[in-house]
């Protein structure tokens, strides 16, 4: 705890980002208790209503409370991003381990798979997955995750190529260790830390990708509250009711900014400590 307080004093911006991210996560988790109204409750009297005590962030075209929908939408968007990053990290680690450790033609097959995935732009690959699976939250998470697999696979492969000739790996091979044992017991633990660092930085990109696909109508189906879908629903009222899109956009921006700043702080070098005179 003392070490965490010291790091917070040394990196106040990262501490602020962690506080903002924690507040967003808690708000999403506690949405049923914090939301002033059900997210799908229609109130025609509040149609495109500006922010007021009754509707702190205003109402959308159907009179639904925007604050309630943003709180519930955070649950959907963050869950999709978490599932996507987890999928990309697990599959990418497996492909990268096999591509880096396998020899001969088998290794070239795995390298070719990584190159094939890298040949597709991430958004195009995500659109292809959604086209095959059909719109929906599951397809959205899979699409964003599949589009991120090449980055994890390439990172793990480069690490395994370096570690393959390390003394502890050569010792395991000399003792007769099978390839699955070496991959699971020796190489995988060595790449976990870089994987988690990449996942931290990739989480913000996953949120943006999920919101972008939701904006295109390829994610959650109405009337589900989801930040990207809320941006899409409010796009036609920017002149008369800008809050319908501004507040969901602000939620996405704050979340991604907090994740990015926190990820940079966690993955970057530790700040120098002034020890004073010895």
Q: Which domains does the chain have, with CATH numbers?
A: 25-267 (1.10.3720.10)
pLDDT tens digit at each of 278 positions of the chain: 455 455 556 778 888 888 999 999 999 999 999 999 999 988 888 888 899 998 899 989 888 999 999 999 999 999 999 999 999 999 988 888 888 777 766 667 777 777 777 777 777 778 888 888 888 888 889 989 988 888 888 888 888 888 777 676 667 666 666 667 677 777 788 888 888 888 888 898 999 988 888 888 888 888 888 999 999 888 888 888 999 999 999 999 999 999 988 888 776 655 544 444 33
Supply φ then ψ for residue 59, to 5 degrees: -125, 160
What's the Cα-to-Cα distance from 216 to each of 110, 210, 259, rounded to whole Å?
A: 33, 10, 24
pTM of the model: 0.85
Please, are residues 92 and 218 in contact by the beta-carbon 8 Å criterion?
no
Structure tokens at 63: 């009179």
SS (H, E, C) 151-177: HHHHHHHHHHHHHCCCHHHHHHHHCCC
Place of tokens 């009179």: 63
CA 152/CA 131 separation, integer angstroms:
24
Beta bridge partners of 65: 59
């Amino acid at each position: 705890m003392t070490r965490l307080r010291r790091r917070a004093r040394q990196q106040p911006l990262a501490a602020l980002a962690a506080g903002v991210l924690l507040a967003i996560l808690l708000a999403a988790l506690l949405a049923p208790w914090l939301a002033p109204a059900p997210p799908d409750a229609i109130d025609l009297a509040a149609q495109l209503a500006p922010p007021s005590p009754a509707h702190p962030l205003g109402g959308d075209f159907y009179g639904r409370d925007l604050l309630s929908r943003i709180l519930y939408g955070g649950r959907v968007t963050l869950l999709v991003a978490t599932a996507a990053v987890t999928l990309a990290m697990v599959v990418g680690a497996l492909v990268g381990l096999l591509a880096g450790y396998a020899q001969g033609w088998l290794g070239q097959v795995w390298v070719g798979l990584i190159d094939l995935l890298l040949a597709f732009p991430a958004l195009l690959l995500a659109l292809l997955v959604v086209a095959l699976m059909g719109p929906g939250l599951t397809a959205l998470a899979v699409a964003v995750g599949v589009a991120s697999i090449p980055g994890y696979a390439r990172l793990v492969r480069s690490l395994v190529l370096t570690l393959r000739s390390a003394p502890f790996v050569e010792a395991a091979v000399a003792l007769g260790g099978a390839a699955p044992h070496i991959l699971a017991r020796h190489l995988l633990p060595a790449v976990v830390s870089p994987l988690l660092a990449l996942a931290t930085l990739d989480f913000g990109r996953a949120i943006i990708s999920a919101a972008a696909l939701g904006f295109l109508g390829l994610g959650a189906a109405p009337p589900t509250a989801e930040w990207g879908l809320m941006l899409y629903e409010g796009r036609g009222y920017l002149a008369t009711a800008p809050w319908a899109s501004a507040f969901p956009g602000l939620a996405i921006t704050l979340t991604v900014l907090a994740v990015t700043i926190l990820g940079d702080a966690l993955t970057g070098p530790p700040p120098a400590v002034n020890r004073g005179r010895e």
